[in-house]
Amino acid sequence: MTRNDLLAGGALWLLAAVPAAAQAPDAPAAPATSAVATPAPAAATETEQVQFSAAALEYDTEADIVTATGEVRMTRGADRLRAERVVWNRKTGKVVATGNVAVTDPEGDIAYGDSIELTDTLRDGMVDNLLVVLEQGGRLAAVRGTREPSGIYNLDHAVYSPCAVTDSEGCPKEPAWKITAVKVTYDADRQRVSYEGARFHLFGLTSPSLPRFSHSIAQSNDSGLLTPSIGLTRLNGAELVLPVNFALGPNRSLVIAPHLFSSEVPMLEARYSAVNELGAYSIAGYATSSRRSDDLSSGFISDTTRAFRGYLDGSGRFQLDPNWSISGSMRIVTDRTFLRRYDISNDDRLRTTIALERIDTDSYFSLAGWAVQTLRVGDRQGMQPVALPELDYRRRITDAPLGGVLQLQFNTLAVGRKAGQDTQRAFASARWDWRGVTVAGQEVTLTAYARGDAYNSDDTVATAVDQYRGIEGFQTRAIGALAADVRWPFVGELFGGLQRFSPRVQVVATPRTRNIQVPNEDARAVDLEDSNLFALNRFPGYDRWEDSSRVTYGADWSLDLPGVAITTNVGQSYRLNSRPSILPDGTGLSDRFSDIVGRTNVRIGEFVTLTHRYRLDKDNFAVRRNELDATVGSRRTYASVGYLRLNRDITELEDLQDREEVRAGGRVAFARFWSLWGSAVVDLTDRAEDPLSQADGFTPIRHRLGVAYQDDCLELGLTWKRDYRTVGDARRGDSYLLTLSFKNLGR
């Protein structure tokens, strides 16, 4: 036997590329310390070339066997092998690798084994004590396995789990869940694992033998069973949801989810979603039959009859080109209590919308429409508006005369009601803003505004509130305003940090405007607060204009310390004329001096966030608006509270009723993977605040309480929800929901 050692720069590529009968010329034996493959002859294709390097190479010319030892690296195309020792029989094409063996396929999956027997293509072979680490996450381990040239692994007595097998200190641990099977097949191209004779193990508990099944481990769309959910409600009984995904293509998916109830007939849920080169859209539908309330327009209780019930919920957006887009949403339900009874949504109004938009650097165009479906007790559906069309165009001119910025706007809106007032509106406006800084550092903003309106309305008597009706027929209106706003910032040190103090004064001059003569569709819920204190018009929307000349004054203050940030503002306005205001008492704007409004934000590192908004009565400093939102804690353990009290004593306008409520929520992480969480909403309104309120001063609305487990491969949760209100067939009571989600197993 003659042994030839192939050194760096030798003929190893020739051995890899030419037929096995070709032999390397004899050469004196010499100790080999390293060997590196060199390029093959031009006749060898890229896929035929086998590149490898090793600390030492030996070649038996008689047996035609190449032996590589010491950090062997072997590559053919996208397939790679790593081992301590590789024996390659060039006559049979068999490659045997031993010692810390790892084989990586083109998909990025890595197979580890004590001993791996392959062909020289590196694409098929047999492995003892196999471990496959998947690119998408997860591991497959088997006593023995084979790999076919197509990339399919066939494993005997195998186990699969995406869970960590070591703890935070690197010590071995049992995975939270795993699947063991007599036979496992893994298709790398399809990213799918199939099982025969499988059992499921969760926290050490073992299921009975399961029928043959498979699941995807890819993040892409694939057909299969999604994660089921289990619930229990007072009215529907036990609930089991079994969703199945049907992949209609890489960009389209249909999910069918039967809802099975112990006390009601089943409900079918279907969701279709798709993505294309222009955008994405989805639509969901629910359908069932159960007893439903006939009419809730006059109260919370009504007779029930069995009928078809369902809900459609869809949305989509398409970017037609860099500027043009079209978007829309659809929310339609058969009755007012369906969403609450089946715990789909707590919304009390549903909007269906459509909009065509064009946006560029200096202009905006929108052609839109929308409709409202009310789910509120006592509301009449015939009084709900349908807006079609709603057109808005805006153009910004940055090189306007006298400097500054000129913004032009044209807007039209048509609102129709089946059993109420119809309104059509159009206006054109121009607004000029100039901003400059004086030599003393004052920031000055000058504004000029002009607008012309045209309205037409029908059936105004159908509107219950006189101030919202306007005069029936065609009406016109002109609006104008001049404003000057001066802000003077001061900056200095305080307590080792940086403080900023900015007093601010604004003067607005505007003539008397025709307001009551035109309808009010979009400016009803008016209230003075810090966000609109310095606005040119403190009414929301366009249908009402604050036609009183006024002076507004206030100040902003902030302090930035290491780990602490505080900002606050306060302000008030004074009306320069004495004529009566169209703003009702209680809004904070009806008298010549307005109420005092302000806001304070406090942030301490990432641990404390506090926001307080308030409005104080100018006469006696009574709190007319008191709103607090606070969060304390980290992402894993925190507590939050929200409190709102509106004490405005407004009785003549339906949109401005007093209310008081508190919202609370929190989460406590009591172990590495476990947490306890909860939330609640309580209505604190009583009849002294709102004569129409059903609350007694402390009426819980709903609460949720749950416990959750979440690690790297498993999410488990149990939620208890209680609803305290009965609305038609949606009865008050308790419901429970069990959620269980496995990584790479369902969705």
Read off the tokens for 373: 């479906």
Per the structure block, which two tokens stand in for 631? 């969060």
Instruction: Let me know: does 432 contact 404? Beta carbons within 8 Å.
Output: yes
Residues 679, 657 contacting (CB under 8 angstroms): no
User: What whole-number distance in Å separates Cα of residue 601 and Cα of residue 612?
Assistant: 7
DSSP state of 54: E
Q: What's the confidence (pLDDT) of residue 33?
A: 38
Q: Give 514-551 pLDDT, tens digit per residue.
A: 999 999 999 988 888 999 999 999 999 999 999 889 99
Confidence of residue 662 (pLDDT cuts 50, 70, 90): very high
Question: What is the greatest pairwise CA distance in the chain?
Answer: 118
Q: Is the pLDDT of residue 690 over 70?
A: no
Q: Is the pLDDT of residue 453 over 80?
A: yes
pLDDT tens across 148-191, in order?
777 788 888 889 988 887 777 777 788 888 899 999 998 887 78
With H, G, I as helix, E, B as strand and everything else as coil, classify residue 405. strand
The Cα 134–Cα 155 span in angstroms is 14
What is the chain's percent helix, strand, coil content, to nearest 5? 5, 55, 40
Kind and range of the H or E run holding 468: helix 466-469
**pLDDT tens, position by position, 276-289:** 999 999 999 999 99
Count of H helices and E strands in the chain? Answer: 3, 44
Bigger pLDDT: 139 vs 686: 139
Say if residue 670 is exposed, middle or buried (CB neighbours under 10 Å; 0-12, 13-18, 19+): exposed
For CA atoms 333, 334, 338, 342, the dihedral sign is negative
Mean pLDDT in residue range 660-672: 91
Is residue 138 within 8 Å of 216, Cβ to Cβ?
A: no
Q: Where is 16: in which H helix or E strand?
A: helix 12-17
Query: Is residue 326 helix, strand or coil?
Result: strand
Q: Could you tell me if 646 and 625 are in contact, meaning their C-beta atoms sit under 8 angstroms apart?
A: yes
**pLDDT above 90: percentage of residues in the chain:** 46
**CA–CA distance from 613 to each of 523, 602, 722 (Å)?**
22, 12, 30
- Residue 300 has a pLDDT of 58
Spatial neighbors of 541 by CB under 8 A, at least 6 apart, are 521, 522, 523, 524
End-to-end CA separation in angstroms for the chain = 61
pLDDT of residue 41: 40
Give how far the C-alpha of residue 448 lies from the chain's centroid of Cα atoms, to the nearest Å.
41
Strongest mean pLDDT among 138-142, 218-222, 322-326, 725-729:
322-326
- Type and span of the H or E element at 17: helix 12-17
Residue 6 has pLDDT above 50, yes or no: no
- The b-or-e profile of 392-422 (16+ CB within 10 A means b, else e) is bbbeeeeeeeeebebbebebbbbbebeebbb
The per-residue pLDDT for 4 is 37
pTM metric for this prediction: 0.77
